[in-house]
């Protein structure tokens, strides 16, 4: 047990931020405490504070939340996500980032965290094998592919698919929606493919990583399959993820991964590579 409970602030009171806030209050109460929640939608803040049955945690600004925490949870996935994270790091506060796709080309934020002796925490998300991938990437890797399969409802209203003319409601068989590099994947599917960014950053093989996204009315879960081959041998992992009950665009495992990452950080415990 840590000698002192870490103070946690949550930015973003949507499905993911709310679930993490509940976990801080309940499952993680022995190692940390929720000291602040913030969202640009004040109604969400007030509703979450009421549901949590906690007083004085609703903050009126991002700056106020940062002042009152040791570690900030980012769960907003907005255009200014990087700015939000940067403000916390500049205040020498650690950050757990759930919108991993926003960090794909953000080496400056990692340098800032290192400079200020803080932590920028990246959960494994809805994929398995990140520990082995990090180790294997120390030597030559010949192949790295991520194939993501999602039911049509999990891709509803995606601007890229609308632009390309995909009619998700009338797809009758397995259909390839995207086949390209990780930069394009994160840009075209910002709500659905954080795992691609996580894989790219963990492996340091952004230019070699190939992303494929498929859909079919037969799919009932969000699945991610990784194939890797190199000097270490061969790795194949596959996760069949249940959609988050509050947000079908997010895998439940991704939320649980964030909670586990926070738990390890608060306890000062690290298991795996």
Count CB-CB contacts under 10 A for residue 207: 9
Q: How far apart are CA 253 and CA 125, in angstroms?
A: 6
What is the three-state SS of 4-60?
CCEEEEEECCCHHHHHHHHHHHCCCCCCEEEEEEECCCHHHHHHHHHHHCCCCCECC
Contact 2, 30 (CB under 8 A): no
CA 259 to chain centre: 11
- DSSP H/E element including 261: helix 252-267
Beta strands in the chain (DSSP E): 6-11, 32-38, 71-74, 94-97, 120-121, 141-150, 175-181, 210-215, 222-230, 233-241, 243-244, 247-251
- List, in sequence order, the alpha helices (H) in 142-193: 159-164, 182-188
Q: How far apart are CA 206 and CA 144, in angstroms?
A: 9
Pick the closest to residue 198 from 260, 258, 269 (CA basis): 258
Contact 251, 151 (CB under 8 A): no
Active site residues: 224
């Amino acid at each position: 047990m840590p000698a002192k409970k870490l103070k946690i602030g949550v930015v973003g009171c949507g499905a993911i931020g709310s679930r993490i806030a509940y976990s801080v209050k309940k499952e993680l109460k022995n190692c940390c405490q929720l000291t602040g929640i913030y969202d640009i939608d004040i109604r969400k803040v007030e509703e979450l504070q009421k549901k949590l049955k906690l007083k004085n945690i609703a903050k009126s600004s991002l700056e106020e939340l940062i002042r009152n925490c040791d570690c900030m949870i980012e769960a907003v996935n907005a255009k200014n996500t990087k700015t939000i994270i940067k403000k916390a790091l500049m205040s020498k506060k650690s950050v757990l980032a759930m919108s991993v796709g926003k960090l794909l080309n953000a080496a400056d934020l990692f340098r800032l965290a290192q400079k200020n002796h803080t932590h920028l925490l990246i959960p494994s998300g809805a994929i398995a094998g990140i520990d082995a991938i990090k180790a294997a990437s120390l030597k030559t890797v010949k192949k790295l592919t991520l194939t993501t399969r999602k039911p049509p409802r999990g891709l509803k209203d995606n601007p890229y698919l609308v632009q390309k003319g995909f009619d998700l409601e009338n797809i009758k068989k397995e259909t390839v929606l995207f086949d390209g590099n990780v930069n394009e994947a994160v840009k075209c599917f910002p709500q659905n493919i954080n795992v691609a960014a996580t894989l790219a950053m963990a492996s340091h093989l952004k230019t070699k990583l190939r992303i494929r996204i498929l859909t079919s009315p037969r799919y009932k879960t969000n699945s991610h399959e990784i194939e890797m081959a190199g000097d270490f041998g061969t790795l194949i992992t596959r996760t069949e993820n249940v959609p988050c009950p509050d947000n079908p665009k997010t895998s439940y495992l991704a939320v649980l991964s964030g909670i586990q990452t926070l738990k390890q950080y608060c306890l000062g415990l690290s298991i795996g590579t």
